[in-house]
Amino acid sequence: MANTPQSKKRARQNQRRQDVNKARRSRIRTFLRIVEEAIASGNQSAAATALKVAQPELARGVTKGVIHKNTLARKMSRLSARVKALTA
């Protein structure tokens, strides 16, 4: 356990950051789930709209350091391809 005042403060700060990051990660997962459900429904316009709404939220996760930028790029690429495939 933390003994020095500095280490106690760091422990408090780390806990706060963990809580914030956990909330952000959960929010990102929720947006991804909404897109996945729209794709599963087969409605191309709904899926495209859900993807468009999710994109800024996912990008915010990158800027806040919750997810890596290449992870975002991979997820967006795959989701976009799946949404595009609904029209075919």
Q: Give residue limits of the domains in the chain.
A: 5-85
Contact 24, 64 (CB under 8 A): yes
Query: What's the pLDDT tens digit per position in 42-78?
Result: 999 999 999 999 999 999 999 999 999 999 999 999 9
Statement: residue 12 has pLDDT above 70: yes
Q: Which CATH number fits domain 5-85: 1.20.58.110, 3.40.50.720, 3.10.290.10, 3.40.50.1700?
A: 1.20.58.110
Q: Looking at beta carbons, which pairs linking 55-59 to residues 24 or more positions away fall under 8 Å? A: 57/27, 57/28, 57/31, 58/28, 58/31, 58/32
Estimate to the nearest angstrom the gap between the alpha carbon of 6 and the chain centroid. 32
Q: What is the pTM of this model?
A: 0.85
